[in-house]
Structure formats: C-alpha cells, structure tokens
Structure 1
C-alpha cells in the first residue's frame, strides 16, 4: 500500500477528527524540537492553517500547542505548502508512528499534502482511458465519466473501462441547444443540473470531440483543464499535430490549459516539448511522445492543482495561430505538387495516417504514406518510369523501395504505401502492375475452420453478415476495430498480423487467404527466381543462377554472363551473371540501408541468433542437395562434401548463432575526477557493411566461416564467391531468404576477383573486408583497404605447412595421417602439409608405405560413394599442378608416385609423391594447393635443425608433429611458427577453435570467439557523476 493510501485509510478510520481545524504558529511547532534554542534562533511569528487534515497527524500537531499562546491564533496567516513541508520534516515522529520512513526532502512531504479531489472525466479514446487510470491511481475520486454515445452498438473504450470499475458513465448525444430567437447556443438545463449533482471539483478533458458549454467547464470548484497537442499559442484547432509538421516546426509538444470558450486560448497550466525527427509522422510523433508524455502531463497537472501550485499563464499573442480541421475538410489534405522536397515530405508525413495526404495521379485519387526524402544522386536500379501529367517533370518512378514523387526543386520524396480510391492500401512498389487474379486456395478441414472463426470475428465486430466480398472499412470498421481484430485473430487462429497487413487485405477473402498463408508458413514477399533444375545423384535439385541483391535475384546491370563448368564433365552447368561496378554499388547500398535504417539494425541480438539457427536448420534440411551442388560445381567428393563442406558449414552457423546474445563489453575501474566519481565501460558494436571474398576449395564452408561471425556481430554483407563455383552461395541466399533474413542483410555478387573483388576492397562505404586466397592477392587486398578508406581487413592466405615425423612416432597412424594431411579434398586445402619432414632412419620404409596407401585411393566421379579422389576445381589449376611437378623435377625432385593428369574426361590429377626434395627445390618453397606430397629428410637427433628448416619460410598457417615423446612434441609445437599446430593428428579443425595464420599466411581469425572480434569495434564510454 502506498503512503498516500495509508493516510487515506487513517482518515477514514478517524472520522470524528475529520473536521478538526488546527490553528497554530510555526513558532509553536518548531519550539517542540528547538527548546534549547534562544528566542532569536527560533522561527519568526508566522502562522499555519490546516483544514480537514488527516486525524492522526492532527493529534500529533495539536500536542505541539501546549507551549504556544492560543491567544495568538486569532490572526493566523496561511503558510505556503513549502512551510508545511518544513514543519513535517521537523516532526518525523508523525510518520514514524505509522511505520513510514522519515521524510528527508521537502518535495516528498509536499506530495503527501495534495488534496484529494472529486473529478469528472470528459472525453473518449484509449488516451482518455490512460489519463483516467493515472488520476485514479493517484488517489482522486472519479465521480462521473462523460463520453460519446455508442456507435453501431459499440461503446467507446473509456466507457468500457469505467464500467468495469463500477463508475457512473454518461453518454450524452449533446450538451447544448440553439435558441431560435437569438441564434445562440445554451447549455441544456437538465445536463447542467445532472452535472451539478455529481459534485465534481475539477473537470479533466483529455480528448474530447464534443463541444462542452462554458457553464459546464466553469461549474467545478477548480474549473476545467484540457489537453491540446501543440505548444500553444501555436497551432490552435483540432489538427494541431498535422499543422505542427506541415509548417516544419523543429519542436512539437502539448499543452494542458484551463478551459476557455472552445478556441484553445485559455491560460496555460503546463507544457512539454520534444524535437521533431526528420521522418516523424503524425502517427509516430503521437505514439512516441504526445500520447505517453501527454498521459503523464495530465496526471501531473491534476497533482499541481491538488497541491495549490497550478499556474495560470496567459497565452502570448506572439506566435499565435489557428488552423482548420483537416479531417473534416478533405480538400485540405490534397497535395499541391508545386512544392519543394521538404515541403512535400512535411505535408505527406503530417497526414500519415490520418487523414492521408492525397493527390491526383493520372486522374486517380491516391493517398500516400511512409514518406522519406530521397537523398541519392541517381535513380534506383530497375525503377519503372510512369508518365504523370499532374506532377513536376511529368514522371514518377516506381522501384523496389516504393514510389518516387518529384518536387519543384529537382528532388524526390519516396513513399512506401499508397491507398487507392476504393480504400485499399497497396505497397507503392506494386503500383501500375497488373492486378493478380483472385487467389482460390484449396483448404484443409482445419483451414476451413479457421476461415469460419475469422468470419465470426468480423461478424462480432461489424454486427452484420459477412461474405467473401465484404470490405472491413466500408462496413464501418474503424482504427480501434483494427486493434480488436488483430487481437481476436491472434487468439482465435494463432496468427499474428501487423496493422499494415489489415489495411492491405481489406476484404474478407483477402484477409482469410492471408491468414491461411501465414498458417502454412508461406512468405507474403514471395521470392521470384529463375531456377536451374536437375535430376542427379538420385534426387531432384534446384538452385538459382543470378546474383542476390537487396532480397532479390537479379541479372547484371549490363546483362553479361559467363558459364560455370562442371569439373567432372568439363561441360557448362549454367550461365552466371558477370557483375559490374554498378552492381557492387547497388549491393553495398542495400547492405548500408539494411544496417542503418532497416529491421536488422534494430533487431535484438537474440532474434538475430534465432534467424541464424533457422538458417542452419534449413541448410541441414537441404544438406544432400547442397552437397550435390558442391560436387558438380566444385568437384568435391560427395561423401566429403556431405560431412565437411556442408556439415561443418551447418555447425558454424549454429555455433555463431549461440554467440549473438553473448557479445558484451566490460566495466573498467579508472581514477575518479574527485570530488566526483567516474564510470568507465566498453561496448562492442558492429563495423557496418562488410565485404567478403572467398575461394573455390570449400565454397560454402569458406562463406560460412566468415559470414556467420560477421552476421552474429550485427553487420551486413556483400559477398563475392569464387568465379569458378558460385552455385552453393546462390543456393545459400535462397535459404537465407526463406529463413527470414531482412532484405539487404546478405548480398551476393558474382564475377571475377580482378574486377568485382577489387571493387569491394576499393569501395569507400565498405568498412571491413574478409579475404581468403593467395598471399600475392592478399597483399593487394591489404593495400587497397589502406588506400581506399583505411578499412579493417582480415586475411587468410597461402601456406606451406611443415609436418615433422620423428622416428618414435606411431608409424602406421602417421602414414594415414600424412596422406590425409596432403590429399584431403584433392589437396585443395590451405592447411595441407606442404612439406613432409621424415626422420632419416624411417625415411625409406615410410615412403614405401606412403606409396602403397596412396595407390589405394579410388579416383573417380565425385558422386560415386566409393570415390576418394575427384577432379581438381578448374582447368587453369590443373595445368598449374602439371607445371608444378615439372619445375620440381627440373630442380632435382623425384616422382615416386603419380605426377600426371589422369587420362579421362574431367580435370583429374593423380595423387603425387615427390622425394629427394631439398630446401632450395621449387616444391619446398611454393604452395602446390593440390595433391602433391613433398618429402624431405632430417637427421633423427637434430631437432633444432629440422625446426629451423621448418620455420625457414614466409608462410605460417599450420604445422604438425608426430612423436610418442610428450616432452618433445610440446617443445616442438611451441617453437613452430604457425597459427595452428597439430600434434599426433592433422586436419582436426573445429568451429570453436580459432583458425588463422602467422607471417605471410595472413592475420585475423576465422572460427571461435576470436572471429567475432574481426567484425566488432570496441567503444569506450566514460561518464562523471
């Protein structure tokens, strides 16, 4: 129970003392606590008059009169409430007797002295409901509620709420009548008499559309207060919010004023203001500030009146204005097209959503909503031009983001929604498209039941029979009914609809179809794509073959293509767009918009995680299809693709999905700026738009390693897969859309690294680049990042990883591991063991075993489940492997196994073993990136020498050591210069373990918690208090 409620209860219990009048001097009261003070130290001879105070407090204060001269009480003066508060502070025992904490500040005490008033609420709407609740909860007595009559048998929400509380509710159709003789209006005598009988001491009018006569507003003891949504004296009238925005005011707000004769000119009691944001609409300004703060403001005004502190400030003449009621005069909401961009933007948003700024477009009356100023220098990609006679320039442009309306200063305003003349709303981007035929869905019994539930909901709200053609708003549905409709649909069918969807689907058939689609999990924003379909690997597969930009699959801007080649058959699979600089710009623009202005930028971290989990689930559902695509596009062996290429990709998305809501900063103790204190903290923020460039050896896995961490951190992405194998990336984009990722978050552009990869690294609006590729190209990437805008970059580059086999190793295991370390994924592996160092004492035997193990490998088609070794990724790479062997042999190496192209169709190369490779051999210094094993000897006892040789190269991606001597392997592992060191194993990577190199193998990490930091910024915040 609140302190106020306790005091109220005491007063009721002590009714015999309720009318006691206490007359005393402050001197007398203070004397009780200051008896040791001399007379000149005591308070001056002021007096206090407290009437109808709580009986328990009266008793205590009366006891203080024992030392006061009652003769002095005749000429008492009324002290201010601040003085009374001081008295109560000195009398803490008053509060202590009733278990209330001693008051320590004057304001708290003043609050306890507010008079409980009898109040009449006159108004309507949910705003009036919340004002009523706030006043009621502050302890005042609501004696009557006056609101509007029922409409179509439905009571206003204020009436419903008050009746629930057992209050008297009156619904007069009118308050006054016109005198035929004088032409003047007079209050209805019976209304005035009725009102007087309730004994209201104050009228509170939160929102009232009826004209309340002056006789009523002046009747209560404290008169009447009214809420007005502008900073008076500006914008008097019923459309105050509209005109505040139309006039381009920088500040908006509300006024609580004392009621006048209806012209909003009464004295000001209270005002609050806020800055008007660039894209605030009537609706957003009301919801953001005018409604919530207005409720508080009305309650505060009542408390000021109760405390005797309510001012009456005469409204100044300067700045006064009175504008007409736009809703009652539809012509006032018509757009005059000869406006500047700012004027046009202001006018549209000022009437959004009520009544809706409208204009004539080719003879059709359209209302426009969702206005923003178009700030770009060029038209959006694929904008449709529509000739319009009424607007400047005679053209409007329809594009994916809405409709561009021209202004008279050569600029544009973009709107996202249009209301047609029949009252139906459509997305502006669909304007001018042929209407789809009515959709007839085949319904299941459960779906038919849901349709009938919807029919019952409509019937209950509209109080009429409903058929398929019934229109919700034409039948009398209101905005308040929309709220009820959404809640009842949610309760009855389990489907959650947005307000905008109700306005889009206004007929019963449209709405029922919308609900059925939602129940089926079908996306309203259906993805249109040109799929390639194939019957292969004992299944039907399909995949897109266009770029993915801003949530849509699209061709390149110049309509150029190249062919993706199957490395097994050497035949084309399909055509792929060759992106241009314009396409990269469009993708970056989409990513930037999604990051700064889209849903992604404001999404909760946990919701990001849910999207990523859902994407991982979809990838798992399609894992056989994804693995098959990776086989035909990249030459991956199916069994390996299923387990590693796709399996580890799925694991990566799930791992980083779990990190989304665990990214946080720290609080840091720092020296305080005495005598004040300081708080220092860090927060982690996403970088922004990131460009990712990935190679062809693990197409989907490399995408996942980088993109999952990038999105978990909250960034948006433009990704360029390798030109040779982009198909799983494009299929991934389809699944990401299906998972519900907002448009612009993921963008995929296809084409050459030389042009498109370079365009990403050079782009001034990309803030981070993640690159996996060769060391020479990585150096160019780093230089471009530095030269363009000093963007952050992480590089996972080439390797020539040493693997040391000591004589005491488990040789049988080591042989298998060495073959896997070199030939895994056809040797197209950045951490492949590029140099095998064998202890001299085991060299010959070990090589023989390697040859035997290698010859067991089955070379064959990727989709054959028995295949261990498939085709190389592309023909250029195959030719480089042939050249690699030739150069190595010319330098003295010996081919003891393989070394040739396989004589069959496809880009097949034999698993190859080279021996007698010294440290200066071409094979010892260069990365093969293929199935070529380079074997070198070392002296069994000279550990330092083999370590020096292993480290004597500019690569440092990975390394390995095999030995049964735990002490030895730990010493060796510590001294190897590599980002990852394997001991008695190789290729064992995990999504939780950071992966990245040293030296010219690059910097930055993929995987693990460390990967997140590549896509985050640390901000330090220091505050003083």
Structure 2
C-alpha cells in the first residue's frame, strides 16, 4: 500500500484531517512525484509554490498525528513511524532545493508516535488521578492501579476513578513484612507474584504514602519513576515544600526521578522550576505550579521513557539536604519568636495550610495563616493593642486586616486567619471579640439533597451519626481527614473548599451553610455596615451612610460628620462622614494594593466583565430603590430618575462590561533592521489608581459614566461624590460588594471638594483624575494634576450650548425640544441649551408657544408621578439662580415667564424664560445650570452671523440646530464649535456615543469606545528576529 493510499484510508478513520488537506496532499505528492521515485529522480523543475504546498500539508499531517492518541493510531494501524519519516525527509529534500528551511526535527516528530507501554500506577489522591488520566489519554495501557485501603468504608479517589474505567484496582494494607531473625523487611512473596502477573513495564508513582519495596520498583522493564516536590538534591523528605519556603529559596519546583530505596536519592529524569513569590504559601505554590505542572511533568517523563530518551542523571552531593517531616513532629511547626520579619513570614507561609505554624500567645496555643509582611510605617487606624508576654515588644495589634505579629527587627508580619486550640479557625481581625450568631438558610430541594450528601460524607469519615451541632474535630476528625473531606465534598457536591474554610466552619451546620452559599455564588465575606432604613415611595429602602474604603464601610478618621439635606423638605436625611487627608491616603493605599497585588490586577478581562454585568444586574434589581434615593438626596423627579439617572447608569455598566475583553493593541509594519526582521506591536495597559470627582446633578449616572470605563480598562478607583448628594454612590458601593468586586477596587470617600477633591488631585500615587464640574474648578484640577506628578486628567466642564432654530423648522416639534433642552432635569444639565437663537421671522410666535408649553409643566414633589419639575439640588444653588435672573434683568433682559422661587417648602425655582437678551447680557455669557431659558434673535438670512455669535464664547460642550433643510443643518453642524451637535433633536445621548467638550468645556471623553482611552496607556513593543 502506498503512503497516499494509507493516508486516504486513515482519513476515513480519523477526523483530525480535513478532506481538503488530503486532496492537497495527493496533488502535492503527484506533482512532486515523490512517493514512487528516489530523490535523484524527482523533477528538478518543481515550483516553489508546490514545494511550500507539499511541505505545509506534511506539517499539518504530522501535527494531526501528534494530537491523536495512541489508541486512535493503533486502531487504524496504517501510518508507521517510517511512513512519517518518508514524508518528512521528502519535505526537507523538496524544501532544501528551493531554499526553504525546515524547522522541525525529524526525530522529534517520530518520537511523537512512540510505542505504548504497560503501566502500573501506584499512588493516591487527586494528583494521582490526574496523572493517571494524562497517561491514559496518551494511549498507554494501564494494567493495574495500586492505592491505599478503604478508610471507614470509603475508597480513595484514585480507586473510584479507575473503577469507573473498569481497571483492576488493588488496595494492599502492606507490601512487606519484617523478618524476626534479621530484623529486616522483605517484600511479601504473594505481593511480588501478583505484581509480576500484571506484566507492567513501568511503575508510575505520583504520590504514595506507603513504602514500596525495592523488589517491586525494580521489577518492571523500565523500573519506576517517582514525583518529588523539590529541586533535588535539595529538600529530600516528605516536607520538601515546607522547607523550600522556610529556607527562603528563590526557586522552587519538582523532580521526577528513578525510584531508589526510599531516600529520594535516585537518578533524576526531569526537573521543572518556578520563581517563588513573596507571599507564596505551601498551598499556593502547590496549586499554582507543583500540582498542574507536576501532572504534565509525570506524563512527559513517561513519553521520554517510551521514546527511549529518558535520562538518568546522578544526583550531585553539593546542595543536598534531608529535612524532617514537620507534620509528624508538631514541635517543628512551633514559631520561635526571635526571628526577623522575613524569617517569621517564611516560617508561617511555609506551613500554610499544613500543618500550620503555631505559637503561644498569653498561654494559648494559636496557629497562624495568611501571612504578609507589614510594609507601612504606622499602625492601622483603630488597631486594638493586646499585651502578650511571649513576643518581642510584648504586644500584638488586631486591626481590620488581621493581626500584626512583631519580629525581632522592629517590624511586623500580618496574619489574616488564626486557628484556635480547639481546632476552630477564626478571622484574625475578630480575635478577642464575641462570635456571631448562627445563620439559618432557607434551602431549595436540590440544596437539601446537597446537605444530605455532606451528612453522608461526615458519617463515613467519623463513623457516627451527624446532626447540626456535630463538631468535626471534637468527633475525632484529623488533619488527614480534612484532606479527604475536601476531596469528597468536591466529588459529591462540586464545591471546592480551602483547608482554611474547613477549619473556620467546624460544625456540620456551619459547613453545610458554607457549601450552600458557595453553590449560590454568594460572597462569604460579610459586609458590616450601619444602614439608614426608610419607608417611602410605597417601599422600604435602605442605604449606607459611611465611606467605603478597602471593602468596608467606615467613619472618617477624625469622626467628624455633616448632614445630607432633602431638597424637597429642607430637612436632614442622615449624617455623612467628613473625610480627611488620612482617609484619602487610606483609600489610595487600598486601591494601589488592589491594583498591584490583589486579585483584580491578575483577573482575566472577561471575568472583569462578568463582575460588571453582575453589578448592572444588581443595579437593575434595585433600580426603584436607587431612583428613590436619588429623589430624596438630589431632588430628581422619580420618573426621570428611574429612566435616565438609574436607567442610563445600568446601560453604561453593561456597555463597558462588554468592552472588557475587546481592549487590544495593534501590529504595526515598520522598516526592518536588515538583514534581520522586526515585529512592532502596541498593547493597552491600565493607568493604575484613578481619582474620580463627580457633580450633584446626576449623582449615580456621572459616577457610572466615568467609573465603568475606568474599571473596564482594569484600573482601581477612589471616587469622591458631590458633598450634597453622596447616598446613591454609597448604595452603589454596597451593590458592588454584593457583586463580588475585590476589596480596594472601588473606594468612596465623602466630604468637601475643597479638601477631599484637592487631596485627590494632589495625591502623588494617583495616576489619573476624571473630573466633572465647573470650568473654574476644572482649571484648578488641571493645575494640581500638573504640579503634583503630571498625572493624566480628563475634564468635563461648563457649557453655554447654543441651539439655533431656523424659520423652516418643524416648529411644533422644535418648541417641545427647546423646552426639554433647557428644563430637562430642572435645568441641572451640563449640555442644557444655554442660548436659544430664534430666526427673527418666527421669534414672537415661537416665544408665545414656549410660554404656553412651559406653563403646562407640573411643579411638585419628586416622588409624585405627575411631577415634571422638582426642587433644585441645594439651597446655595437656588440662591444663585435667583441672583442670575436679577443680574440678567439689570443688563436689559425681560422675564416673560417665571423668574422666582416657588412659594413652598423646598428649593423650588420656577421654569424661567428671558427674552431681549443681547450678546453682552449676563445671561448670554454665563452658565445658569438651572431652569432659565435665554432667547435671542438672529437675521433669517444671515447664517454666518448666527454661527459667529453661537461660537463666540469659550464654552464648546454641545450645540443644536433645527431646520428641514438637510444641506443647511449639516453645514451648520460642521461649523459649530462643540463636542456634540444635535440636529432636529436635543438631549439624545447614548452610552455608545462619545461625550465631551471643546475649548473651556474641557477635554477627554465619557461614554463610547473613546472613553476607554482616557483610562489606558499605550505601550509599544519592538522585537528583532
């Protein structure tokens, strides 16, 4: 059978190759005529195209074969290694004659198709399961599984997995016996005979607690290989990972070695290493590298043996060490307090989670977990000092982040979890406090079934009946049982628990609640907050009234407060913390830690998007509550708050959530540095910690416009809402915590702009400021950003937007749109039409219609569904509006509608229309930021003049034009100096459309893809090859 015929038959049995590849292969083989002729006879006139084609097809074929399992190759039994070699040699010959270099080594490709072996797996636990699966999937025949005996009637997970596959599973209690005469151990003859009958060619020992006699390890043709979690010859022994970290090694790793007499001295087959991170623990190092890479390493070692390429490197004596088994000698895990910070940190994390570094604190034996080096110069706020006789300095400090343990060099190590002498674990920050009450959950039928599965697992391990009050460790559970418990919970319920969680939920009820909450996706980290509760708007609402820093609600550092006022009643709603510089420092520190060292900084972009989607869903779930809070805190009309203030906020979060995994750079063609080539690319990176300062007109929406883009780009945030209305921002923080945002990612500090806003713009560790507010304050923000650390800033500032109405406009529509353009949201709108230019021929008629339309507006309480116009945000602003009208009238303007404060409780101001306003009038040059319409005339025929007047101002946020003449409106739109121009409409903003101004209305964009660039840096990478 020719090679091509084999290919054709093989294609029918394997789906890895497409029919088109076979066709191309056939054509290439026929054109090159390489299957039936010697290399010397092949046509020298073959084109480079054919050479490329043939070579590419062979590459695809070999890649497909390397992906195929041995079982598939065995089934087809068509393509031999020699067939592949023929194809590769032919390819290299064809390519060589046309100057094409082959990159693959023939022997490496042939090695991919090496023979299968008969293998015995000797081991236990999930690690052994995954090694078994990897070797099995590579096509080797597993002839037997040896594992530990059942414990309390339950088999090891390796036995369970192997039995599913129908394999022979043996569970010997022992492999050897002691000769009374000599005192030496010998293999049990019946065990050796049984083992020989399986015909294993290789023993693979991933993790095994039993001693396997040398007779067994030496019996197979290829002997035995063992996994060891250190870079041998260093750290021989069962506690290799612990000692790697205790000794402060910079590198850790594993070794696959040829089995010896049990002293870990056998020849090395392969080794893999990784850098040990500053806060790696035994647990994290194992999960991050030693487990996943160890599984791959064991499978790779088997392939090397099968290919005849496995080395036997004698272990050197230099660097060799053998340390004792810490778990078997508890005294080895005791902390000697006379250690440096680094030594103490290494010791605690090396024994985290097993067996747990322990020390005596005031006579009580405590084990410590979650160690980090304390790098700050001062103690945390509100730290509780506890006198301790056993430690240097005689004091430890308990704070919101854990417990600070002193070292002998005057520094501290922070731990976040403590295990008490009774086996129960607690958060270190709660040490010395009364424990919380038991939590009762309402369970679904499926959840009840999961609880019963857990009860069965406990019963199997403890061999006793289990009720809600049963305590795992008091009933005889051991640390070895914890490992089994975690494994069985994972296989039985699908929930994966950490060792520390078992120790913190030691009763059956606590553990079942923990599992149910994990299944529900709930955050186990309870949020403690002081809520304000109100019965209003036919619903019960609640909201925090403290600042939100590092995942916790907190008072200000100096315990000072101010009152938030309801604009409708003029009465206080609640007290709000008045933040200080220290509070800003704490918030920046938390954001910086979250960005550089926290989960957020390493989170996948798509996972970041999922969090943002979840937050948007929570906002929608609470939209009526959020709208109600916006009404009482900012004076927003409820129907508008529901649709715009809250509705557009939700849309914004969903829009930018979708952008998270679509932020990318470009590849750029550049001139090559000949004779070499160059690759030039850009990548997008987050800026870092961003400070956001937002105004009072749309509290939640302005937060969302900036923060959603900021977080989508991967930054962390310190946000200062306006002092007058911070409540929806604080409610938002509560929802963000519920959504699962890691601590420190979102921080909300409350207080005055003069102090807190200034502190943000001056802060040397904030890298970007996003500000919305007035132009004068924006200029100060920009100056502070430049003077502090030249931080990036974007400014959305004041406006005096012109709206031009030509005589040929749809006047009925234009009247409605003009009223909305001015009076929308009580005129507290940055893009409000500050100047209405009416064509002279329609001026009088249009003004009358404006007055009629304005008088239809219902002024009333924000929560009344019929209300169209509510109170202004605050009293200072109300007084400024009154003053604005007075100055405008003094300059010659005429009030034709409104102009006064409404005679009722609350900060109400009448919708006002001013006419006879010339270009030098106070009303034409200054932003009202309220319900004041300024009407001006222009000559119908002089388009250039009205454009000159419209543009003759230092603002350029928005503009509008109404006319039925499409050509005219497009010409006018292009000539208007504004970041947004509306044509035959107004106020039509969308989350996908960039929003931002020109001139002194600021720079930078909110919304749309452009907004992302405000919070990103572009890095260029150029490579030569």
TM category (shorter chain) comes to 0.7 to 0.9
Quote the offset at 1:863 in angstroms: 2.9
**Structure 1 residues 45 and 11: alpha-carbon distance in aligned structure 2, compared to 1, 3 A threshold:** same
Check the 8 A contact 2:8/2:22 in 1, yes or no: no
Could you tell which deviates more after superposition, 767-776 or 824-833? Answer: 824-833
- Structure 2 Cα separation of the partners of residues 77 and 743 of structure 1: 58
**Structure 1 residues 362 and 680: alpha-carbon distance in aligned structure 2, compared to 1, 3 A threshold:** same
Quote the offset at 1:773 in angstroms: 0.5
**Structure 1 residues 5 and 301: alpha-carbon distance in aligned structure 2, compared to 1, 3 A threshold:** farther
Check the 8 A contact 1:254/1:290 in 2, yes or no: yes
Check the 8 A contact 1:24/1:49 in 2, yes or no: no
Quote the offset at 1:948 in angstroms: 0.7
Could you tell which deviates more after superposition, 479-488 or 825-834? Answer: 479-488
Check the 8 A contact 1:799/1:927 in 2, yes or no: yes
- CA distances 1:568-598 after superposition (whole Å, capped 9, x unpaired): 2222222111000111111122222222333
Q: Which has the larger radius of gyration?
A: 1
**Structure 1 residues 258 and 26: alpha-carbon distance in aligned structure 2, compared to 1, 3 A threshold:** farther
Check the 8 A contact 1:649/1:704 in 2, yes or no: yes
Could you tell which deviates more after superposition, 467-476 or 889-898? Answer: 467-476
**Structure 1 residues 532 and 131: alpha-carbon distance in aligned structure 2, compared to 1, 3 A threshold:** closer
**Structure 1 residues 1008 and 764: alpha-carbon distance in aligned structure 2, compared to 1, 3 A threshold:** same
Q: Secondary structure at the match of 1:129?
A: helix
- Structure 2 Cα separation of the partners of residues 63 and 1008 of structure 1: 43
**Which residue does the alignment assign to 1:54?**
54
**Structure 1 residues 437 and 43: alpha-carbon distance in aligned structure 2, compared to 1, 3 A threshold:** same
Quote the offset at 1:798 in angstroms: 0.5
Could you tell which deviates more after superposition, 70-79 or 667-676? Answer: 70-79
- Structure 1 Cα separation of the partners of residues 503 and 67 of structure 2: 75
Check the 8 A contact 2:3/2:35 in 1, yes or no: no
Could you tell which deviates more after superposition, 383-392 or 32-41? Answer: 32-41
Q: How many residues align?
A: 1025
Could you tell which deviates more after superposition, 485-494 or 882-891? Answer: 485-494
Quote the offset at 1:754 in angstroms: 0.5
Could you tell which deviates more after superposition, 799-808 or 7-16? Answer: 7-16
Q: Secondary structure at the match of 1:53?
A: helix
**Structure 1 residues 742 and 250: alpha-carbon distance in aligned structure 2, compared to 1, 3 A threshold:** closer
Could you tell which deviates more after superposition, 304-313 or 986-995? Answer: 304-313
- Structure 2 Cα separation of the partners of residues 648 and 22 of structure 1: 55
Quote the offset at 1:749 in angstroms: 0.9
Check the 8 A contact 1:21/1:52 in 2, yes or no: no
Could you tell which deviates more after superposition, 761-770 or 589-598? Answer: 589-598
Q: Secondary structure at the match of 1:410?
A: coil
Check the 8 A contact 2:878/2:907 in 1, yes or no: yes
Could you tell which deviates more after superposition, 813-822 or 468-477? Answer: 468-477
Quote the offset at 1:189 in angstroms: 4.4
Quote the offset at 1:934 in angstroms: 1.9
Check the 8 A contact 2:34/2:90 in 1, yes or no: no
- CA distances 1:325-360 after superposition (whole Å, capped 9, x unpaired): 111111111111111111111111211222221112
Quote the offset at 1:139 in angstroms: 5.5
**Structure 1 residues 65 and 12: alpha-carbon distance in aligned structure 2, compared to 1, 3 A threshold:** closer
- Structure 2 Cα separation of the partners of residues 992 and 71 of structure 1: 53
Quote the offset at 1:720 in angstroms: 0.8
Quote the offset at 1:3 in angstroms: 13
Quote the offset at 1:23 in angstroms: 40
**Structure 1 residues 793 and 84: alpha-carbon distance in aligned structure 2, compared to 1, 3 A threshold:** closer
Could you tell which deviates more after superposition, 148-157 or 297-306? Answer: 297-306
Normalised TM-score (structure 1): 0.86
Could you tell which deviates more after superposition, 947-956 or 710-719? Answer: 710-719
Check the 8 A contact 1:30/1:42 in 2, yes or no: no
**Structure 1 residues 286 and 451: alpha-carbon distance in aligned structure 2, compared to 1, 3 A threshold:** closer
Check the 8 A contact 1:47/1:78 in 2, yes or no: no
**Structure 1 residues 850 and 767: alpha-carbon distance in aligned structure 2, compared to 1, 3 A threshold:** same
- CA distances 1:33-65 after superposition (whole Å, capped 9, x unpaired): 999999999999999999999999999999999
Quote the offset at 1:999 in angstroms: 0.4
- CA distances 1:641-660 after superposition (whole Å, capped 9, x unpaired): 23322232233223323333
Check the 8 A contact 2:154/2:460 in 1, yes or no: no
Could you tell which deviates more after superposition, 396-405 or 111-120? Answer: 111-120
Quote the offset at 1:178 in angstroms: 3.5
Check the 8 A contact 1:721/1:729 in 2, yes or no: yes
- Structure 1 Cα separation of the partners of residues 392 and 691 of structure 2: 39
Quote the offset at 1:924 in angstroms: 1.6
Quote the offset at 1:276 in angstroms: 1.8
Q: Secondary structure at the match of 1:17?
A: coil
Quote the offset at 1:259 in angstroms: 3.5
Could you tell which deviates more after superposition, 454-463 or 946-955? Answer: 454-463
- Structure 1 Cα separation of the partners of residues 474 and 66 of structure 2: 76
Could you tell which deviates more after superposition, 490-499 or 80-89? Answer: 80-89
**Structure 1 residues 599 and 71: alpha-carbon distance in aligned structure 2, compared to 1, 3 A threshold:** closer
Could you tell which deviates more after superposition, 678-687 or 446-455? Answer: 446-455
Check the 8 A contact 2:152/2:461 in 1, yes or no: no
- Structure 2 Cα separation of the partners of residues 70 and 828 of structure 1: 72
Check the 8 A contact 1:25/1:45 in 2, yes or no: no
**Which residue does the alignment assign to 2:693?**
693
Could you tell which deviates more after superposition, 990-999 or 656-665? Answer: 656-665
- CA distances 1:611-631 after superposition (whole Å, capped 9, x unpaired): 333333333333333223222
Check the 8 A contact 2:687/2:1015 in 1, yes or no: yes
- Structure 2 Cα separation of the partners of residues 540 and 328 of structure 1: 57
- Structure 2 Cα separation of the partners of residues 986 and 809 of structure 1: 14
Quote the offset at 1:947 in angstroms: 0.8
Check the 8 A contact 2:718/2:747 in 1, yes or no: yes
**Structure 1 residues 173 and 50: alpha-carbon distance in aligned structure 2, compared to 1, 3 A threshold:** farther
Check the 8 A contact 1:23/1:50 in 2, yes or no: no
Normalised TM-score (structure 2): 0.86
1:784 and 2:784 equivalent?
yes
Could you tell which deviates more after superposition, 738-747 or 851-860? Answer: 851-860
- Structure 1 Cα separation of the partners of residues 704 and 747 of structure 2: 14
Could you tell which deviates more after superposition, 114-123 or 279-288? Answer: 114-123
Check the 8 A contact 1:228/1:256 in 2, yes or no: yes
Quote the offset at 1:797 in angstroms: 0.4
**Structure 1 residues 242 and 448: alpha-carbon distance in aligned structure 2, compared to 1, 3 A threshold:** closer
- Structure 1 Cα separation of the partners of residues 51 and 673 of structure 2: 50
Quote the offset at 1:462 in angstroms: 4.8
Could you tell which deviates more after superposition, 824-833 or 475-484? Answer: 475-484
Could you tell which deviates more after superposition, 288-297 or 22-31? Answer: 22-31
Check the 8 A contact 2:70/2:113 in 1, yes or no: no
Quote the offset at 1:804 in angstroms: 1.6
**Structure 1 residues 168 and 546: alpha-carbon distance in aligned structure 2, compared to 1, 3 A threshold:** closer
- Structure 2 Cα separation of the partners of residues 642 and 70 of structure 1: 62
**Structure 1 residues 1006 and 55: alpha-carbon distance in aligned structure 2, compared to 1, 3 A threshold:** closer
Q: Secondary structure at the match of 1:702?
A: helix
**Which residue does the alignment assign to 1:532?**
532
Quote the offset at 1:735 in angstroms: 2.4
Could you tell which deviates more after superposition, 118-127 or 91-100? Answer: 91-100
Quote the offset at 1:11 in angstroms: 22
Could you tell which deviates more after superposition, 458-467 or 872-881? Answer: 458-467
Quote the offset at 1:1000 in angstroms: 0.3
Could you tell which deviates more after superposition, 73-82 or 360-369? Answer: 73-82
- CA distances 1:769-794 after superposition (whole Å, capped 9, x unpaired): 11110101001111111222222111
Quote the offset at 1:289 in angstroms: 2.7
Check the 8 A contact 2:32/2:42 in 1, yes or no: no
- Structure 2 Cα separation of the partners of residues 870 and 997 of structure 1: 28
Check the 8 A contact 1:649/1:700 in 2, yes or no: yes
**Structure 1 residues 944 and 953: alpha-carbon distance in aligned structure 2, compared to 1, 3 A threshold:** same
Check the 8 A contact 2:835/2:933 in 1, yes or no: yes
Q: Secondary structure at the match of 1:16?
A: coil
User: RMSD of the alignment, in Å?
Assistant: 8.5
- Give ranges in structure 1 of 5+ residues lacking alignment: none
Quote the offset at 1:539 in angstroms: 3.2
Check the 8 A contact 1:333/1:356 in 2, yes or no: yes
Quote the offset at 1:874 in angstroms: 1.6
**Structure 1 residues 963 and 97: alpha-carbon distance in aligned structure 2, compared to 1, 3 A threshold:** closer
**Structure 1 residues 212 and 787: alpha-carbon distance in aligned structure 2, compared to 1, 3 A threshold:** same
- CA distances 1:262-317 after superposition (whole Å, capped 9, x unpaired): 33333334333222222222222223333333344344444545555544433332
Check the 8 A contact 1:49/1:77 in 2, yes or no: no
**Which residue does the alignment assign to 1:512?**
512
- Structure 1 Cα separation of the partners of residues 20 and 900 of structure 2: 114
**Structure 1 residues 884 and 1015: alpha-carbon distance in aligned structure 2, compared to 1, 3 A threshold:** same
Check the 8 A contact 1:27/1:44 in 2, yes or no: no
Check the 8 A contact 2:270/2:301 in 1, yes or no: yes
Quote the offset at 1:810 in angstroms: 2.7
- CA distances 1:468-504 after superposition (whole Å, capped 9, x unpaired): 2333456566788768766876787787766653442
**Structure 1 residues 295 and 97: alpha-carbon distance in aligned structure 2, compared to 1, 3 A threshold:** farther
Check the 8 A contact 1:89/1:104 in 2, yes or no: no
**Structure 1 residues 354 and 96: alpha-carbon distance in aligned structure 2, compared to 1, 3 A threshold:** farther
- Structure 2 Cα separation of the partners of residues 525 and 820 of structure 1: 46
- Structure 2 Cα separation of the partners of residues 856 and 40 of structure 1: 98
